[in-house]
Amino acid sequence: MVSFILCLLPALLAMSAQGETLTCNTCFGQTDTCSFAPGTCQDNKATGGCLSVAEAITLDGTQNTYFYKQCLSSYKSDIEVPISFTVGNGKYVRINTTRCNTDNCNSAVLGVPTGSTTENGLQCPTCFALNFTLCNSSVTPCNGDETYCIDFTGFLYQGSSPSPFQAKGCATASAQAIKPGANLISTPYTFSFFWGQSVPAQKIPTSGASPALGKFSFALYLPGLTGLLLVKLLS
């Protein structure tokens, strides 16, 4: 009888955990007060948790900031954040996220990654292009903790409308997690990556010469161009 009870114990504990609920804060807004529709939600504590997101995106030429809190049905995520990448001409994506697993653990105010205006001595080709327009790269100094060069192709969704895109720029180390088939979800956009590569950024020459595009290995460009052609064929 004792052995039978011991055999049942793990199953009983699992059932108990699955039935336990978790309470999280909810809200949405464009300021850190996140005051629109505040409230709470409940989720399965065994598999889910609480989510808090703060983001700033300037791909359309203007800065859009969003803050929201909600229940998180699963901890699974394609890309770990915070993540930041700058693709030139003042265009950047900065997303900060926390995930936690205790009641009301997402009540604190989460700040948007501010980015840095201090050059870090590194450089990358940068450009951003939609709908197969030419992504003309120019070498740009990187700032702060953006120490990697990225080259992405894929589809950018705003609502249900996809637009093929190509992007090159400076990025944080977390961008290394971007792989084919990964998605990065933000409030205005969903980035669906068809191809992506991240390599350590190169140092800016100390000789006083201007950054030169030719200093970068052609290997950084060829896979991205191939990915863009494949995206065009699939669209």
pLDDT tens digits, residue range 116-149? Answer: 889 999 999 999 999 978 888 899 999 999 999 9
Cα 228 to Cα 47: distance, rounded to the nearest angstrom = 37
Tokens 């929201």 locate to 68
Q: What share of the chain is helix, strand, coil (3-state, %, to 5)?
A: 20, 45, 35
pLDDT of residue 215: 46
pLDDT of residue 94: 93
Cα 147 to Cα 84: distance, rounded to the nearest angstrom = 10
For residue 205, give the DSSP letter: P
Using pLDDT thresholds of 50, 70 and 90, give the confidence band for residue 225. very low
- pLDDT above 90 for 104: yes
Cβ count within 10 A of residue 204: 18
- pLDDT above 50 for 1: no
**Angle, vertex CA 100, rays to CA 96 and CA 105, nearest 5:** 100
By percentage, how much of the chain surpasses pLDDT 70? 77
How many CA atoms are closer than 13 Å to the CA of 234, on its beta-carbon side?
Answer: 15
pLDDT of residue 95: 92
pLDDT of residue 19: 61
- Asked which of 23-37, 100-114, 175-189, 218-232 is least confident by mean pLDDT, the reply is 218-232
pLDDT in tens, 47-79: 889 999 999 999 888 888 999 999 988 766 667
pLDDT in tens, 146-171: 999 999 999 999 878 899 999 999 99
pLDDT of residue 206: 82
Cα 159 to Cα 187: distance, rounded to the nearest angstrom = 10
Using pLDDT thresholds of 50, 70 and 90, give the confidence band for residue 16. very low
Q: For residue 91, give every residue at least 6 positions away whose Cβ sits within 8 Å of its Cβ, in sequence order, or none.
A: 58, 59, 61, 128
